[in-house]
Structures are given as structure tokens and as C-alpha cells.
Structure 1
Amino acid sequence: MTIQKRKVKKLNVLVGGPTQQWPDTLKSGQIEGPWIGVDRGAIRLLQLGIKPEIAVGDFDSTAQEELARVKEQITHIETFPPEKDLTDTQIGVITAIRYFKFEQLAIYGATGGRMDHLLANIFLPLEPRFRPYVTNIKLIDRQNTITYYQPGMHEIKKEPNKKYLAFVTLTKVDGLTLFDEKYPLNDYSSGHPTSWASNEFNGDLNHFKFDSGIVAVIQSRD
């Protein structure tokens, strides 16, 4: 069955990272918006009582009874060969772009486990095919929220359960300035990635700017 592309405010993707890294809102099924389940992520959503609109993946390590449940409950399923040039997260984002116009794409299950997968997921928005969506993509787990920014002046709002704030220059960056954070920074430029870690908010709203490149902002807690 073909899904007609439609506009949504928030779209969620669940990939197969460790469930221990899920935020409590996911474990309790309190996240709003439609879902795409990638490989084992589709099975885990069904176990939570959430029916994803699309399931994608190679399903090569899926038990027959689990795959049968996916086919029974999810109308739109797309399968990929086990040997492919795409990660599960790339497949999820490609599927999201193909079938939805979203304001925010929240990706869960993308952290924990293998370090190569974590790095691939963090750097994913830098790929040319995903660059138009870089500011729409957000990675979320139980301790961290990662958002991406393009050059300009920005205001960031503190999440209620987060204490720490980090600014990560993922590319060559010019003019990074932190105006009102606990530890200010003035006109920083660098040709290599740098993580300005363990900063903190002053108040509920803080501001920063930069002139070129891509910066990831991480709100986190212990």
C-alpha cells in the first residue's frame, strides 16, 4: 500500500539501539506524532502498543513469529537486502523524507551500543542529501538531546530535566560566540571538530551565534 506524502509537525523514528537508552516518555508510550520503525525498532514499537505507519529494514535477524506480527499489524513495509550501503538510521531518515513533510524529525534508539553506529548517527545530518533537513533533525535518548544549527543568531530553551549544555563544532566553524551561558565564549573559529562540553544555562533561555559551519548543541544530564 502506498502512503501519500503528508505534512506533520513531529515525526518519530525508532532504530534498534539499546532500550536502556530510551527516555521514559518512550518507554511509557507518551510521545506524540506518527512513527517509522526501522528493523527491530518496528517490533519494539508494537511491543509498546504503538503501531508505526511504516516499517523498514532487512529484518534478517528477526524471528519468524516477530516478522509475522510486523506483517500482520503494519500495512506499509519496505525490505532491504542484508548487505547494503546504508545504516538503519539512514534508511529511517530517507524513508521519513520520502513520505513526510516534517517540521521536526526525532530519532530514538540511535545511541548506546557500538561506537561506530553512534558516530555515524551524530554525523548523519552532515551528509549532502540530509543537509536541507539539518535543523529539523534531533537525536534523543534518556540523558541527551542533540540538535543541529546552521549559521546565525540562535536562542535555545532549557529542557526541564537537563543540567549540562555543550556546543560541538562538527565542521570548520567561524565566529562561535556564547553570549549568556555560564561559561561565555567569544568569536571562536576552528578548522577541526571541537566539543565545548560541560557548559550550563543561565536561566531558561540562552543565546549563541556563529558565522559558518554546522554546530550541534547537546543538552544532557547525569
Structure 2
Amino acid sequence: MTTVNLLVGGPTANWPTDLAQLSGPWVGADRGALRLVKLGIQPVMVVGDFDSISPAELQTVKQAIAGAVIVKPDQDHTDTQLAVKSIFEQLHPDELHIYGATGGRLDHLLANLWLVLDPFFRDWAPKITLIDRQNTIRYFLPGSYTITKEATKKYLAFVPLMPMKLTLADEKYPLTAAQNDYPISWASNEFVGEQGHFSFDTGVLAVIQSCDATV
């Protein structure tokens, strides 16, 4: 199974503590590309309009990469969207882990969270995971699923992003074909044991495992 990691330009304070030790391949979007290079990580691809870094910094990135530089041709897509598109079309991963997609500007956060609602990206939704210091966000298309508890996470949230009927079979707070007509976060649920089961009939569902912030 091939996993590609993508670093975008969100605050470094939200990174997992072990980000620099994660194995590649890595792709950087805009400022995320420069941050990879500064960590000593050689990206296989960099993507963006590079408006958040200086020409000298961009030259540093170009000298360090092991693959393609893809310059965003317009403002119809965000850097993250173009990076996700380029990764799936050129690298064909089984999984894509996105870092640096949370925190900072709320418009960027929402664009990243809602990326999979675009029909162009939706078929890739089950392969995409957003990861930060406190959260793991996975996306699901209609069906029945088993999810395994992450050792470092306490809480479990189910976030219907589109209308659906959602069943939580064996979580701490169960639901039975609950109708969701608009986006809502069924927050602060928890596993009972090490696995949970859920199902839904239409739309896209985000499932978040999370923990409280550490001081």
C-alpha cells in the first residue's frame, strides 16, 4: 500500500510532534514545500502559486526537490486542491495523508475540510485523511464500516457533511437511522472497546478521532 504525505501551509503548532520522522514520499503545497526543505525532507513534487514565499525561497525549494514543480495557473483552485489533484493523477497513492490543513485562517480550514464535497474529488474521499496534533479526520462514502480506535485519541465524532441517515451501532452514544438534513457534528462520542461500527445511506461522512490539547 502506497501512502503519500502532503504538507500544506497551516501553522506549525498544529503539526503532529513526529511529523519530521514520518516516512515519505512527501509533496509540499506552497509554503509547505519550503517547510519540508527546511526539515531536510526532499519532496517528490511541489505545487502552488508560491505567493507566500519569496523568489529566493522558491529557488531554494526548486534546488532541493526530487521531482516536479507544478505552478497553479489560476485562482479557481486552492493550492491544496491542486496538490490533491496532482497527487492522485500522477502518483496514484492508495492513501493520502494531509498535514498543515488545520489551524490559522478559517477560510483555508473550511476549504480543506470541504474539499471532498466537490464531485471532482469525491471518489478520492475514502483515501484522504487530514491529520494534526489533536485530530485524525477520515472521509467515508455510503456503506457500512468498522473503525478502530487510535491509542492516543479519546473522542469520536461523526460529521454528516450532506443529508443522510446515520446509524451508530455500538458507540457510547448510539443512533439508529438518524436523519441529518444539514451538516452537523455528533461530537464527543467515544468507542466502547477498540472498534466501532457505523453505516449511512447517502452523502459524505467525516469521522474524527481526537484528544484534548496537552499543555
Name the structure with the higher strand share. Answer: 1
CA distance in 2, matches of 1:18, 1:48: 15
Cα offset, 1:24, TM superposition: 1.0
CA contact (8 A) 2:49 2:79 kept: no
Cα offset, 1:185, TM superposition: 1.1
Stretches of structure 1 lacking an aligned partner (at least 5 in a row): 1-7
2:185 counterpart SS class: strand
Stretches of structure 2 lacking an aligned partner (at least 5 in a row): none
CA distance in 2, matches of 1:73, 1:50: 9
**Structure 2 equivalent of residue 186 of structure 1:** 176
Residue 192 (structure 2) pairs with residue 202 (structure 1): yes
Deviations 1:175-198 (A, max 9, x none): x11111111111101221111000
Residue 11 (structure 2) pairs with residue 9 (structure 1): no
Q: Counterpart of 1:206 in structure 2: which amino acid?
A: G
Q: Which moved more, 1:178-187 or 1:14-23?
A: 178-187
Residue 69 (structure 2) pairs with residue 77 (structure 1): yes
2:162 counterpart SS class: coil
Cα offset, 1:108, TM superposition: 0.6
Cα offset, 1:39, TM superposition: 0.8
Provide runs of 4+ in structure 1 moved above 3 Å: none
CA distance in 1, matches of 2:59, 2:204: 42
CA contact (8 A) 2:101 2:112 kept: yes
Question: Where do 1:62-141 residues align within 5 Å?
Answer: 62-74=53-65, 75-81=67-73, 84-141=75-132
CA contact (8 A) 2:72 2:82 kept: no
**Number of matched residues?**
211
How much identity, in percent, do the aligned residues show?
55
Cα offset, 1:153, TM superposition: 1.1
2:94 counterpart SS class: strand
**Structure 1 equivalent of residue 13 of structure 2:** 20
Q: Counterpart of 1:194 in structure 2: which amino acid?
A: I
Question: Where do 1:138-217 residues align within 5 Å?
Answer: 138-174=129-165, 176-217=166-207
Deviations 1:8-48 (A, max 9, x none): 6101111100000000121xx22123111011101100111
Cα offset, 1:199, TM superposition: 0.3
Residue 26 (structure 2) pairs with residue 35 (structure 1): yes
| Shift in alpha-carbon separation, 1:38–1:192, aligned structure 2, 3 A | same
Cα offset, 1:215, TM superposition: 0.9
Q: Counterpart of 2:72 in structure 1: which amino acid?
A: F
CA contact (8 A) 2:8 2:31 kept: yes
CA contact (8 A) 2:72 2:79 kept: no
Cα offset, 1:65, TM superposition: 2.9
CA contact (8 A) 2:164 2:201 kept: yes
Q: Counterpart of 1:181 in structure 2: which amino acid?
A: E
- TM-score of the pair, normalised by structure 2: 0.94
- TM-score of the pair, normalised by structure 1: 0.91
* Structure 1 vs Structure 2 CA RMSD: 1.3
1:139 counterpart SS class: strand
Cα offset, 1:213, TM superposition: 1.7
